[in-house]
Amino acid sequence: VSQSRYTRVKFLLSKEPCERIYINCDELLETGREAFIAEMRKKTGIEEPKLIMFPLIFIDDIFLGDEGDLLNHLVFELSLEDTEF
């Protein structure tokens, strides 16, 4: 996985006032790839034949998506903050 994707995701998450846990999946993919991918499919709901793309982002233990989904989430959250109801 491209380090720049991880760097961008970490930067975006650094703007959120929340606890962050980063798990480096490289070792898990090297030592037990099939089991790890199966577990990620269960946690994310991503079914075969669709590929699992890293990094995977979870908020409050709920799967959000990938880097693009995180960006959309943050933009939507910021736009709501500026909206008066």
Whether the CB-CB separation of 73 and 16 falls below 8 Å is answered with no
What pLDDT shows up at residue 85? 45
What pLDDT shows up at residue 4? 85
Question: Could you list the pLDDT tens digit for every one of the 85 residues in the chain?
Answer: 556 888 888 888 887 777 788 888 888 889 999 999 999 999 999 999 999 988 899 988 899 998 889 888 888 876 655 555 4
What pLDDT shows up at residue 82? 55
pTM tops 0.85, yes or no: no
